[in-house]
Structures are given as structure tokens and as C-alpha cells.
Structure 1
């Protein structure tokens, strides 16, 4: 009993639905290592220039914005489970299209389709966790969600390192398979939705008039942009410095291991959201500074450990804040609007990464990102006052 308690820790007592969603997303995460390699594939496999790659990835990011909004609308109207299955199936089709492409234009069209399907499953997944979890338990539930993704990320990183020695298209085939596996698990095992539409008409809730949500969206967008700059900029930095392509897979695996170990060793539940976010940004900035001076794979690993510790304090708290603002019958749309931060960031980050790399090199890219992280840490008391309940 004590061994089980040690293993599950703060996650004991979470509902069966949460665990099923966590397992399903972990299965999907095992194959979801393609995005960091997408820029490399476009340049190496399809001959796109650095500027063209940045533009294509920006278009991908723009396509994820309507994808996220569609996911929120469908989650509140069609149901969480059906929306998750629809989104994952669309991702699988797009991934296979990229793998089978022989021209840059075909790969671009497939990338746009991937963007349009990429975020559909996130709002219903996050909303369903909030549906079945009391507010006090949501940090633990979202923490389990993140820990499971990190655990799967260990295997994902190792698979990426292995497959990157072959044709990089195999990465997209693997991701398509795991998307379909995740969709099948949700469709066959997760049989019920918690519906709130009958309690109050969903259309009566005006999501865009909630100023606190819009402020949270602004802060979350800046954070997400930094995060996406790491995802997109790190492989290009390694490529520019002549380090092996497999290095990104190793770094992703180390990052995931760090997050898992930190979940068990550090106790952050006693911190409120704003204290946790402040600490997270300080750690993130430290990792980015190390990344700015890194010249070997070992130093990049040290940077990844630092920013992964920051992720522990950041990722779950933003989701907890967003779900806490939402009425039950509009939770899918609230989380979808907040999740636009990732679509906006995925649009902005390819442009900022490629421009900063061209004009100031890796040092300028990572020091600029670190400065923004420090500014967000300093601004947390200001956010606390303005996000307080009216």
C-alpha cells in the first residue's frame, strides 16, 4: 500500500475518466515528436529555405487558431468524446499526407491540414478533466496529465533520436499511428460525457466579454510563444552549430525525465498559482540563458533540465486558472479561447525564431526569450490583482 501511495502521490482519488484521458494522451504523445522536426523536414527533405520554412510554419500556426475554436465549439455542443476522436483522426490523415509527399507544395498543403486539425482535441480533453474534478483537485489532475505526457515523451525522444537516422518521414508515420491509437482508445473505453448544456443554454455565455479571460489569454500567449520558440528554435540551433540531428531527441527525452522526476521530488501544491508561475519563469529564464551560451550537446541538456523544471511550475497553473474562470456550460469554449495562445504563438514563433537566428544568431534568440521570461515573472503581482474574482 505504501509503495502505491508513493507512486500515485497527489493523484490518488482522481476519477476514472481522468486516468483514461491521461492514458490516451500518453499513447498519442509517444508519436507526437514531429513538430520539432517539421522545420528540419521542410529544409532537408523538401529543400525549403530558412525564410520559406519560417513562413510555412507560421501558416501552420495560423491554421491552429480556427482549429482550437472549432474544438471548443464542438466540445460544448457535439460532446467531448466525439470531438477528441474527430481531431485525432484529422491529425493522422495530415501526418500520413506529409509522409507521402514528394513535392514542397504537397507538404505545405498537408501542413495546413495538420494545423486545421491539430488543436481540435485539446479543448474537449482539458474541459472533460475539469468536468469531473473539483477545483481544488485540478492542479493535481492537470499535473498528472502533464506527467503522463512527459513520461511518454521519454520514449518519444528516444524514438525520435532513433528514427532521425533514417528518412525523417517515418516520424510522421509513427505519429499518425499513435493518433489513431489514441482515438480508438477514447472511442472504445471512454463512453460518457459530462454534459452541462441542459443546465443553461451555452449560447447565452459570452466568452469574449470576460476581461479576465482575455488578460489571461494575453499572458498565456507570451508564455506559449517562448515555449514554441524552444520547440522550433532548438533543432535549428543544433543544425546551425553542426550538432547531430539526433541530439534534439536526446534533449527531449532528458527534458521529459526531468519533469517526471521533479513531479515526484518537488511539492508545489502548497504554492498558489501566481507564486508557482513566478518561480517557473525564473527557472525558464535560467535555462534560456544557458541555451544562449551552449556550444555542446551536454550544455544544451543542462539548459533543458532548467527550463523543464520551469515547466513544472507553469503549464498546469495556466490551465487551472483558465478552467477556474469558466462556467460549466461554457468550459470548452473558455479553454478554447485561452488555448488560442498556442495558435497565436505557433504563428509568431517561426517568424521570430528565423528572424532572430538570421540577424543575431542563437545567442540573440535565447537571451531575448530569457528577458521576456524575467519580465513575466516580475509582472505576476500585477496579474494577481487583475485576475482576482470581481
Structure 2
């Protein structure tokens, strides 16, 4: 056990652990997004369409925030971007908690999404800056573990707090966000290397050409498109799952307990996943993760009791656990050194687009075609994603090898036709989330 612990946590930079602690504290209070759909429909009396639109505006604000956050992380710096986004998010959480009219709630959700999600690109870029490539699989897994440890506790506590006062959810979330900002302010130094001193990235001579470089990177954009599909499926657990459980007569606290199983399983097993998938084909791991996640969400069509909903959560959580480490390390390797913030921003943008569209698509499908059609459609998307990962995997590995600094040992490219075992059957991951996962997400995730 001591050897496993040393192999899992040893040798990581001090800055990483400060970021890790901030993540854990922030996620311990991540109450709002988990219960926003229930708050809007049950406490405020809005209909499903209005609730979906508010959640979508959160996603729209997040899309703007991640784009702006990625640019600021590269130009202004990781640290000031993180501080500004956390402080702004804390203020908007309190504002949203006191908002009464629909227009005020919608505007608060829009601005909260902007500030909260602006932190994602800066956080991801700083993680890549301070952690060497050979340690990133462990680092991202540990960070994802912290996200879900906090999320598991938050889901249970939020369900209990919601029965006392929904306003308490907003206050606690704001307080933990401010605590994270305090850790960054006191303990975390700027990690961005000035552009003039950085290694010139392949295909990007100047940061001001970043948009042209990213739009021309078809390999990366293809990966982002797959992440978008996965996020649309994954985010149904925030938008449509609580509504489906409420229709079956289950209380908000029951939803909190069921969704907490996601965090519990990740906390119990995520630290073993890096060793499980080490040395295996990333495209095969990602394909398997997509299938498992699709099956988990697809089985929700047949759930009508708390234990059945819990079983589906456990299944798609295994897919999430397999996805997150490979997803995060691949994004890091596909990001040119001078454009890490912007590349992280584009990936986070896919989560925000999903956040804006998933509630609307989910609500429309559920309303027009029924509950079963929504969840079986999620299963079909999982199969499509799996095939796409298998087809596009070799090109991604070649691109990662081309961007790898000459001083780092090259990893062998994925074989074009070899069929190998993706992962022994057993255990999930964000995004990212942020992730899907996330929420962080995502990274999944500040959520």
C-alpha cells in the first residue's frame, strides 16, 4: 500500500497540491448547478421549458467565459484570470440566490456561467505548466478524484440543505468559491512562460494567430467534437435526470443520494484507474468508456425506483472514470505550449455548448418523444462516439508526437489496425470534467 501511495502521489509539484486543495474545497460547496433544475421547477414554480432555458443561459455564459478565459490565461496570466473568475462567480452566486423574477434569474445564470467557467482554461493550462508530461496522468486523476470527493459530499449535503433553505445552497457555494480564491491568492504563483521565452509551437509562430491555428487544427477540433457529443449525454444527469426522478415521485434528497453514488465510486476507484490503463491504447480506452457510459444512460429508460436509478449511475460512472485520465492527458499533449490557455478554452467551450444545448435537446426529446426515447438516444450516441474514437485515434497520436518537445522520449504511435484490449473489465472520468467533466467539470469542472 505504501508503494502504491508513493507511486500515485509522490513527486508532484507543490503548486499542484495547492490547486488540488482549492479544487476539493470548491467542489465541497458545488451545490447550485446540481440542484438548479429542481430549484427552478419546485421552489420557483417555473415550467420545464423555462428551467431548460435558464440552464441553457448558464451554458451560453460559460461559452463566452471559457473563450475569454482561455485568451486571458495566455495574455494576462493564469493566476489573475483564476482570481477574477472566482471572485466574480462568488458575487453572482449570491445575486442568483436572491433573484426573484425570471429575467433576473436568467441574467444571473448567464453571468454566473461566464465567471465560473472562465476559470477552466486557466486552471487546465496551469496544471499542464507545472506538472511534467510523465506525471500528468497521475495529476489529472488525483485532481479528478478531489473533484468527485467534493461532489459526493456536496450532493448529499445539498439535498439536506435544500430541504431547509434553497438560499443556503447559494451562500455555501459562494463561500467555498471565495476560499478557493484565497488559496490561489496566497499560495499559487504565476506559471505562464512569457511568449518571447517560450518554445515556438508547431504551426503557431505568434499568439495573435491563435484563432487561425486552432481552426486549422482538424485533429484537435475532431476530438473536441467528440467531447461535445459526450458532454451532451453526460449533462443529462443534471438537467433531465432530476426531473425524471421527480416524475417517479422521488424527493430532491433522494436524487442527491443517488447522484452522490457517482462521486463515491470515483473516490473509491479513480486512483487505481491510471495503473489499470497505463500503456494501453488511448483510443480503445476512450471507445470503451463511450460504450459503457451510453449503456448506463440508456438503462435509465427502464428505471422507476431509487435503486434502479442508482444502478444506472454506477454504470455510467465507470465509463466516466475510464474516460477522464486519457481525455485529460490527450488534451495536454495536443495543446501547443504557447497556446495552452486557448486550446483549453476551446475544449471547455465544447462543455459550455453542451451545457446550453443539452437541457433544450433533452427537454424537447422528452416532451415530444417520451422519456424512454431520450435515454435510448443517449445509448446510441455512445456507440457512435466509440466508433469515431477508434477511427480517429491514430491521427491524434501522430499529432501528439509531433508536438512533443525533442527532449521528451517519444511514445510509439497507435497502430492503425492492431486490435488490443482497451481495459480489463472493472471500473470512470472528467472531462471535465470537465467533466464530460466536468461541472468538470468538467473539467469538468471550478463547477
Give the TM-score taking structure 1 as reference length: 0.95
Moved more, 282-291 or 191-200: 191-200
- Root-mean-square deviation (CA), in Å? 1.7
Shift of 1:146: 0.4
Corresponding position of 1:252: 259
The 5-angstrom pairing of residues 175-186 of structure 1 reads 175-186=173-184
Query: Mean Cα displacement is larger for which, 44-53 or 20-29?
Result: 44-53
**Which residue of the partner structure matches residue 139 of structure 2?**
141
Q: Give 1:228-307 correspondences, 5 Å limit.
A: 228-266=235-273, 267-307=276-316
Q: Deviations over 1:165-201 (max 9, x none)?
A: 1222221111111111111111111123242423254
**Residue of structure 2 in register with 1:212 after alignment:** 219
Question: How far off is 1:151 after superposition?
Answer: 1.1
Query: What is the CA–CA distance in structure 1 between the aligned matches of 2:57 and 2:230, rounded to whole Å?
Result: 20
Contact 2:287 2:390 in 1 (8 A): no
Cα pair 2:299 2:312 within 8 Å, conserved? yes
Q: Which residue of 2 aligns with 1:131?
A: 129
Quote the Cα distance in structure 2 between the aligned partners of 1:315 and 1:383: 18
Q: CA deviation at 1:70?
A: 0.8
- 1:1-22 Cα deviation digits (max 9, x unpaired): x53x434542322211111111
> Which stretches in structure 1 are left out of the alignment for 5+ residues?
none
1:355/1:204 CA distance change after superposition, 3 Å: closer
CA distance in 2, matches of 1:208, 1:199: 25
In 1, Cα distance between the equivalents of 2:170 and 2:190?
31
In structure 1, the partner of 2:371 is 362
Give per-residue Cα distances to partners, 1:273-315, cap 9 Å, x unaligned: 2122112112212211322211111111111111111111112
- Match for residue 54 of structure 2? 56
- Is the alpha carbon distance of 1:303 and 1:9 closer, same or farther for their aligned partners in structure 2, counting shifts above 3 Å? farther
In structure 2, how many angstroms separate the alpha carbons of the residues matched to 1:93 and 1:271?
A: 44
Q: Per-residue CA shift, 1:293-352, capped at 9, x if unaligned?
A: 111111111111111111111123222222211121111111111211101101110111
Matches within 5 A, 1:163-174: 163-174=161-172
Give the equivalent residue in structure 1 for 2:429: none
> 1:3-57: per-residue Cα shift (whole Å, max 9, x none)?
3x43454232221111111110111011113112112222223222111221222
1:41 to 39, 42, 56: 39
- How far residue 250 of structure 1 moved from its aligned partner, in angstroms, is 0.7
User: Which stretch of the first structure deviates more once superposed, 361-370 or 262-271?
Assistant: 262-271
Which residue among 228, 232, 254 is the counterpart of 1:225?
232
Greater mean alpha carbon deviation, residues 355-364 or residues 64-73: 355-364
The 3-state SS of whatever aligns with 2:163 is: coil
Pair 1:24-2:22 in alignment: yes
Q: How much has 1:228 moved relative to structure 2?
A: 1.1
**How many Å apart are 1:260 and its aligned residue?**
1.7
Within the candidate set 126, 151, 154, 1:153 is matched to 151
Measure the CA separation in 1 of the matches of 2:269 and 2:94: 35
1:344-380 deviation digits (Å, cap 9, x = unpaired): 1011101111112212332221111011012211222
Which is worse superposed, 117-126 or 275-284?
Answer: 275-284
CA–CA separation in structure 1 for the residues paired with 2:216 and 2:373: 38
The one of 181, 204, 208 aligned to 1:203: 208
Unmatched runs of 5 consecutive residues or more in structure 2: 199-205, 400-447
CA pair 360-268 structure 1, distance change in 2 beyond 3 A: same
Instruction: State the number of aligned residues.
Output: 388
Alpha-carbon distance, 1:92 to partner: 0.8
C-alpha deviations, 1:209-267, integer Å up to 9, x for none?
21112111111111111111222111111111111111221123211110122224442
Write out the 4+ residue segments of structure 1 that deviate beyond 6 Å after TM superposition: none
State the alpha-carbon separation in 2 of the partners of residues 335 and 303 from structure 1: 30
Secondary structure of the corresponding residue to residue 270 of structure 1: coil
Q: Secondary structure at the match of 2:58?
A: helix
- In structure 1, C-alpha distance between the alignment counterparts of 2:126 and 2:268, rounded to whole Å: 26
1:204 Cα shift?
Answer: 4.1
CA distance in 1: counterparts of 2:172 and 2:370, whole angstroms:
33
Give the distance between the partners of 2:255 and 2:298, measured in 1 at CA.
18
Q: Is the partner of 1:119 in helix, strand or coil?
A: helix
